[in-house]
Amino acid sequence: MADDIPWTERELRKQMVRACHALASRGLVAATDGNVTAKLGPDRILVTPSSLSKGEVTELSILVCDLDGRLIRGRSGSKVSSEVHLHLAAYRTRPEIGAVVHAHPPVATAFTFSGREHLLRDPIIPEVVAQIGPIETCPYVTPGTRALGETAAPFFKSCDVVLLAQHGAVALGSTPWRAYLRMEKLEQAATILKTSAELAGSAEAVRRLTPAQTKDLIVNYGDPKLLGRYGLDAKRETESELVERVAAAVLKRLGA
Ligand SMILES: [Zn+2]
């Protein structure tokens, strides 16, 4: 279904269930961790309940809350996920998004415990550069608090995927499935980077894309706004680009 056709509540619930089950089966959450929400209307959000494994979420177990996180509709005895304020902060900051996924992807989260999170921000993996951009890390704030949402909000302004230091990650999307896919991509990227750092002997020895390569990827496949986020100028040739261009021309002349 195209993203511009309004989704019915039933369809949104179905897709949330699919995203929850995928989170559990891919090991991106454990026990009752993680939560998924979808925008149902201007002042209503579908939200997974607290204390339920994401592998056991059903269409009927999903609740409806307002923009303050208060339960509006749902099974009696159910409680809205404690992390709802993180999701509400994302909807407030980015009114165009339709869904939010919060999980604890083990490898990506481990980067924030080890102080190596800059590897996820640097231009290294082409699909991440073109499709997501630099993945920033929000400083640690106690999970489940309104303060966490407030601290994360500025990060949501420019990033669809945000790491939460010593906690987990958040992915935004037009639909629950698209947000889920970004979370899956984050963990895959983190796994590749972890292995690369191990093979290379250190995080710093991992090969980065050059500014010219980064710019080329974004110009061809990404959102031009990502150029600024990597510190690249869309118009002006960077010094590195100039050096690379001249070096390539010289090598060509020499027949290398
Ligand atoms: Zn969490």
pLDDT in tens, 17-49: 999 999 999 999 999 999 999 999 999 999 999
Q: What is the mean pLDDT of the chain?
A: 94
pLDDT at 144: 95
> Could you tell me the pLDDT band of residue 4, with boundaries at 50, 70 and 90?
low
pLDDT above 50 (res 1): no
Distance 142 CA to ligand 1 centre (A): 10
Q: How far apart are CA 91 and CA 30, in angstroms?
A: 25
Structure tokens at 122: 């640097």
Distance 83 CA to ligand 1 centre (A): 7
Pairing of strands 35-41, 44-47: antiparallel
Q: How far apart are CA 198 and CA 203, in angstroms?
A: 8
Residue entry with tokens 């999170």: 117
Distance 86 CA to ligand 1 centre (A): 9
pLDDT above 90 (res 252): no
- To the query of whether residue 9 is one of the catalytic residues in this protein, the response is no
Compute how many other C-beta atoms are within 10 angstroms of the C-beta atom of residue 10.
9
> Could you tell me the pLDDT band of residue 133, with boundaries at 50, 70 and 90?
very high
pLDDT at 15: 97
Q: Report the percentage of the chain scoring pLDDT > 90.
A: 87
Which residues belong to CATH 3.40.225.10 in the chain?
9-200
pLDDT at 190: 98
Residue among 11, 56, 59, 83 flagged as catalytic = 83
Instruction: Report whether CATH 3.40.225.10 matches the domain 9-200.
Output: yes
Nearest residue to 200 via CA among 134, 127, 126, 124: 124
Distance 170 CA to ligand 1 centre (A): 9
Range of weakest confidence among 48-52, 125-129, 219-223: 219-223
Distance 54 CA to ligand 1 centre (A): 13
pLDDT tens by residue, 46-84 = 999 999 999 999 999 999 999 999 999 999 899 999 899
pLDDT at 235: 74
